[in-house]
Structure formats: C-alpha cells, structure tokens
C-alpha cells in the first residue's frame, strides 16, 4: 500500500462515489484513491475525453465501474446534469473538488467573470451538497468532502473573489457538520495547503522560492480521506501548515499572500 493511500469502507461510502473536478490535480487523485478501495466512480468535469482516460485507467487497474458526466459547473444550471445522471445510482460519497485558479486584481475582472467564478467555486458546491445530503439523509449514511483553500477564511489579496467563494464553501461545511450528523451523514472541509498540482503553474506562481515546499498531491488527498473516515469537520494537510494556520494572525497571512500573488496579477490602470 502506498504511503499516503487511504482505504475506504465500500459498505459505508459506496457503492458509488461522485468526484467533481476529476480530470486533473486533486480531483483526479481523489478518484484514484477512492477507486483503490473498490468504489465505483462518477467522474465530473468539463472535459469528457480527459475523464474517459481517467475512468479507463482506474477501471483497468482496480476493476471498478465508472460513469463520465461532462458538465461545466461554471454555468448556472449545469449541476442538474450531475443530479440527473446519477439518479439511478446508490451514491455514498460526494467529493466536491471543482475549481480553478484565476489570480488578478479584483477591478480588472468583468462582472460576468466574477459571477462565473462564484458559480464554479461556490454556488455549484452548495447546490450539489444540498442534493446529495438529502439522498444520504434518506439512507442514514454517506459523506461529503468539500474542497476549500488556505486563507479563504481570512482573505486572499489578488484572488479575492475565488477566496470569497471558497470561504462560502468553508462556512457551509462547518455549519452543516453538526446539522447533518443528526441524520447519520458526514461532511468534511478540506483546506487545501500548497500542493504539487498543475494549479500552481496556472496561478503563475513559482514554487522554488517558497519557504515551505508544496506537498505531494497523494498526501493532501490521503489526509483528507482519513478525515472523512474519522468524521472530522476540517482537515488542514501537513503538520507545519496546521501549526501556521492555527497561530499566524490573519493580517500577517494576508500581507504574505499579497506579496506572493502580485507576481501573477492583472492590474487596472
């Protein structure tokens, strides 16, 4: 068994799991680790061809069934594609990992861009969580993992609107943790710390000068799934990041983040 691989009980979290953002990065690693537990997968993202590749690889390696749902969750209403195409399946786990990085000065974005960011990284998570939590409550079991981001609760300069959307996801999961527990349903928030994914490059960031190197994506996902197993409310992967998150004042975090994010922003003149 790989160092960071976490085995899930298919009787508790299966027989099917839904993973959004499954074509790359953290979402793809969630799919890989869940498949290793013998749980069938519904893979969701915009790119059907990439999802087919992921599904075929995991089916061949772990003998699971899979279903591809091509849905752009940045478009309002497309969450219904996921709902409708999973109606006939017994879902036990929902991993809401859809998102992207769009750094930039807030004033440089157009209103339509801001609305799309909020839909993709906030509203779609809320609507799908509501849908699957209702299904889980009817079965008295099941769990949701919501993917948020480090700094979303304190603000991320030059990434303000995505931080606000992820802050909504953070608050949603924390708020629902006790509420859904009464129905036998789990919900966990993953606060993603710097992780080795294509998103770092997409954000325009250089990992080499970072004082703390990005962690392997398998570690981030493994710690998150362990948190789901233990019914934890929040998971912050990496011991040093947990300490930093607990003790550093929000004002200092914002100042450090602002200096780092300026290198990949677009300014309004």
The Cα 120–Cα 266 span in angstroms is 21
Q: Are 228 and 145 in contact (CB under 8 A)?
A: yes
Instruction: DSSP letter for 189, please.
Output: E
DSSP secondary-structure letter at 215?
B
Half-sphere exposure at residue 178, Cβ-oriented, CA atoms within 13 angstroms: 2
Q: Which residues pair with 190 in a beta bridge?
A: 147, 235
The pLDDT, as a whole number, for residue 189 is 98
Residues 149, 192: contact at Cβ < 8 Å? yes
Would residue 218 count as lying in a domain? Answer: yes
Residues contacting residue 189 through CB under 8 Å, at least 6 positions apart: 145, 146, 148, 169, 170, 173, 174, 233, 234, 235
Token pair, residue 223, equals 């710690």
For residue 5, being part of any structural domain is answered with: no
In a domain, 1, yes or no: no
Domain annotation covers residue 4: no
What is the reported pLDDT for 91?
A: 98
The CATH number linked to 51 is 3.40.50.720
Query: What pLDDT shows up at residue 267?
Result: 46
pLDDT in tens, the chain (269 residues): 688 889 999 999 999 999 999 999 999 999 999 999 999 999 999 999 999 999 999 999 999 999 999 999 999 999 999 999 999 999 999 999 999 878 888 999 999 999 999 999 999 999 999 999 999 999 999 999 999 988 788 888 888 999 999 999 999 999 999 999 999 999 999 999 887 766 555 555 554 445 567 889 999 999 999 999 999 999 999 877 766 666 666 665 655 665 666 665 544 43
The number of folded domains in the chain is 1
> Is residue 269 a part of any domain in this protein?
no
Please, what sign has the CA dihedral across residues 127, 180, 134, 96? positive
Q: Give the Cα separation of 93 and 1 in Å (integer).
A: 22
Query: Could you tell me how far CA 125 lies from the centroid of its own chain?
Result: 9
Return the pLDDT at 239.
79
- Provide the domain limits for residue 27: 10-264
């Amino acid at each position: 068994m790989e160092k960071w691989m976490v085995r899930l009980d298919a009787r508790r979290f299966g027989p099917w799991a839904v993973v959004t953002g499954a074509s790359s990065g953290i979402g793809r690693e969630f799919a890989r680790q869940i498949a290793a537990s013998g749980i069938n997968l519904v893979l969701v993202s915009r790119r059907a061809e990439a999802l087919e590749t992921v599904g075929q690889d995991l089916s061949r390696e772990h003998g699971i069934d899979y279903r591809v749902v091509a849905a752009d969750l940045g478009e309002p209403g497309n969450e219904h594609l996921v709902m409708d195409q999973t109606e006939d399946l017994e879902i036990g786990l929902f991993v809401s990992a859809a998102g992207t990085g769009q750094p930039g000065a807030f004033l440089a974005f157009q209103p339509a861009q801001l609305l799309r960011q909020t839909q993709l990284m906030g509203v779609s998570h809320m609507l799908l969580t509501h849908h699957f939590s209702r299904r889980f409550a009817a079965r008295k079991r099941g769990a949701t993992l919501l993917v948020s981001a480090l700094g979303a609760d304190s603000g991320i300069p030059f990434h303000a609107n995505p931080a606000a959307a992820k802050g909504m996801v953070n608050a949603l999961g924390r708020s629902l943790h006790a509420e859904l527990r009464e129905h036998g349903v789990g919900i966990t928030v993953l606060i993603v710390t710097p992780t080795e994914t294509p998103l770092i490059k997409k954000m325009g960031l250089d990992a080499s000068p970072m004082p703390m190197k990005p962690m392997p994506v398998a570690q981030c996902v493994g710690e998150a799934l362990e948190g789901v197993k233990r019914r934890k409310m929040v998971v912050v992967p990496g011991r040093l990041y947990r300490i930093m998150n607990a003790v550093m004042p929000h004002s200092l975090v914002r100042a450090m983040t602002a200096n780092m994010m300026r290198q990949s922003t677009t300014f309004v003149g």
